[in-house]
Structure 1
């Protein structure tokens, strides 16, 4: 169901990109992540990472914009019992719908597809590749609040709620979806 909604929004955004080319804005964004694995994953704390990528901003109707993005994102978690870390790197493709509250503030929400690029577990300062133990894709939903200046600079705070399990172990009794808080600075051209 989530895959169908995501791909429908992606096709809609491509259609709108070609239909509204004269109003289209492109931009770059980047910032900090505060990531953890949720639900059944215990003994973990937030991992601090970065994210960065590009976006397109497409006006749909008055007060609404569609913003597809392609963003590299460091996710995972840190063990609360030492320096051990779960380091997950994703290429995330969110398709956000932005509702402009006024000329500066907006609310945003939309689906996100994540493609796992790499996964390592750091144990005693040694990195071990664990990509084969994780699912190659991740589905989630993002919610956020943004502020845009008249100079096309934007500050966003977004919560990405993973709705699929990251582990590929087949255990239906254990769930470790991604949970990521992002603070971004972006500029549109």
Structure 2
């Protein structure tokens, strides 16, 4: 009986030792938990924007602006998902009778992206987004005119880009935004001076933009 009890004790002790040896250390467990923790982040960057499409007599050019945003990314390895909210100041410039005029549009965008991470330091991103126009204005010689009523409030399109993670939570990225929604919706009919040298109703302008940004993942 003693031999049986001693044998059972040795078997149990051996199993406990093997199990303890197979358990990861506290440092390894913390590393694994960090890898599977959802990522929240902030980013800020530079916009290089323009519009696609043409109008008779319009000499248009690109414009610059800025973006600021936040994102949430569920934990994943390889293929994953990211949801963002972005404030974006963008637009274009045109020659209005020899006067340089800026059109500045402020949007809130909600990109929904599929991501693919390579070696934990490089990420490809692609997806779609919808946007809501907060306001639009033209600026000529420091004089502003509101043109929000001419604009379609909702925008939509595709986005794609890359991000690099140099160290810790720092990120550096670039993205291209291709708008599919028509910019303008109706003809201007106010008695005040006409703010645009074309009939908005007869155009098919759409947004286009390149973004460069830096950010941090928590």
From the CA coordinates, give the structure whose radius of gyration is larger. Answer: 2
Offset of residue 92 of structure 1? 0.9
The verdict on how the C-alpha distance between 1:152 and 1:140 changes in structure 2, with shifts beyond 3 A counting, is same
| CA offsets 1:120-140 (integer angstroms, 9 cap, x no match) | 011332111100100011001
> Does residue 106 in structure 1 map to residue 123 in structure 2?
yes
Change (3 A) 1:54 1:119: same
* Counterpart in the other structure of 1:64: 79
Q: Confirm or deny that 1:132 pairs with 2:146.
A: no
TM-score normalised by length of structure 2: 0.71
Segments of structure 2 that go 5 or more residues without pairing to the other structure are 1-35, 188-199
Superposition TM-score, scaled by structure 1 size: 0.81
Q: Which structure carries more strand by proportion?
A: 1
Partner of 1:76: 91
Supply the RMSD in Å over aligned alpha carbons.
1.9
Structure 1 residue 82 displacement after superposition: 4.1
Which structure's residues are more often helix, by fraction?
2
Q: Which of 46, 61, 65 is equivalent to 1:45?
A: 61
Is the alpha carbon distance of 1:106 and 1:116 closer, same or farther for their aligned partners in structure 2, counting shifts above 3 Å?
A: same
**C-alpha contact 2:99 2:140 (8 A) present in aligned 1:** no
Unaligned residue ranges in structure 1 (runs of 5+): 1-21
Question: Matched residue pairs, number?
Answer: 167
Partner of 1:162: 179
Structure-2 separation of matches of 1:113 and 1:46: 22
Q: Which of 110, 115, 120 is matched with 1:93 structurally?
A: 110
Query: Within 5 Å, which residues of 2 pair with 1:20-31?
Result: 23-31=37-45
User: Relative to structure 1, is the Cα distance of residues 188 and 123 closer, same or farther in structure 2, using a 3 angstrom cutoff?
Assistant: same
